[in-house]
Amino acid sequence: MRSNYGVMASDRENFELSGPLHLTSMDWKSTDYRRSVAASLVQGVYILERDRQEKRQGNEALAPPWWKFFHFDLCAQLIDDADSSTFGAIYQFKHPTPDSYNSANDSPKYVIAFRGTITKGDAFSRDLQLDVHFVRNDLHRTSRFEIAIQAVRSIVATYGSSNIWLAGHSLGSALAMLVGKSMAKTGVLLESFLFNPPFVSAPIERIRDKKIKHGIRFASSVITAGLAFAMKNNHQKNQSGDTFVALSQWMPSLFVNPADHFCSEYIGYFEHRKNMENIGAGVIGRLATQHSIGGLVMSAMGKESEEPVHLIPSANLTVNLTPSQEFKAAHGIHQWWRYDLLLESKTYKY
């Protein structure tokens, strides 16, 4: 899960050069505005860590405009206890004028945002370790997750769950999804903006031939559903199946780019389930989307298998159809506040 950093990183960090300056008026009813703000707040976390690495303080710090432009205050930074890097931030929205209170029901009270992997500086080693934890499906066992979930629980306990947002990009999106799923299991449904959320799977979505792609997905679904059914009949514990339906009321917003192989599989994941419904195989499709083959095999062998982080029952899926010249652009956070995006959005309810 790569970051959005590369050549000319200083320009990308500078809000005046790379930020969404076109958003001159506050419109919390607009999906474009909400998406752009959430992405900018995630970018603020990236720049907080870069400011730390570069020892930029005071007037030299580049991070503050990424939240101040949208009338947010930085309440707290979330610090990784392993390397002291900033991986998250808690923002509080401040109404700039008395009239802005009219839109109070649409604006967030607090936003908890998480960055992805930074390939520069001393944070890279720790971020890479967490990338591996995600792939191994044990991100929930890391101290970074514990710090994140405790921060969110504290905010919810103090201010309630209404208008509390989660936001993240790449690895940070995986962390936000894990936090969101954990909260949803307790009945707390948080509005979530997940940019380029990683999906652990073979890159089937990159296959151009639709018949071959559908055939592979169909065969995979049959095998997965068959394993899940067999294990259920053998009365083996299946945590993924037990909790999947309970999560169906949580509708996170996922933002993916077809040219980003880290997240593009979400397109086929949801669309295939819909296609299975259309051909009368909905039971197989729904059962298959609850499980991963690897997890089922491990359970069948008597080994502990945790619920896959990336599998979710419902979502608002937004696909960026704007052509990307390179993978870095397709995976980067900057694409999500552009004013000229060609987007396609669909709602998938389990």
User: Is the pLDDT at 15 greater than 60, yes or no?
Assistant: yes
How many other β-carbons are positioned within 10 Å of the β-carbon of residue 142? 19
Could you tell me the pTM of the whole model? 0.84
SS (H, E, C) 46-60: HHHHHHHHHCCCHHH
Identify the pLDDT of residue 290: 61
**Residue 31 or 229, more confident:** 31
Question: What's the rounded Cα separation, in Å, for the pair 129 and 47?
Answer: 21
| H-assigned helices in the chain | 9-13, 15-18, 31-54, 65-68, 124-135, 143-159, 171-184, 210-233, 239-244, 265-278, 282-288, 293-300, 327-331
Alpha-carbon Rg for the chain, nearest whole angstrom, is 20
Q: What is the dihedral of CA 12, 15, 19, 23, to 10 degrees?
A: 180
Q: Which class in CATH covers the domain with range 9-207+248-279+310-348?
A: alpha beta
Identify the pLDDT of residue 6: 38
* Domain definitions of the chain by residue range: 9-207+248-279+310-348
Identify the pLDDT of residue 98: 59
Identify the pLDDT of residue 200: 80
238-279 confidence digits (pLDDT tens): 444 557 778 889 999 999 999 999 999 999 888 877 665 666
**Residue 196 or 280, more confident:** 196
26-85 confidence digits (pLDDT tens): 999 999 999 999 999 999 999 999 999 999 999 999 999 999 999 999 999 999 999 999
User: Is the pLDDT at 5 greater than 70, yes or no?
Assistant: no
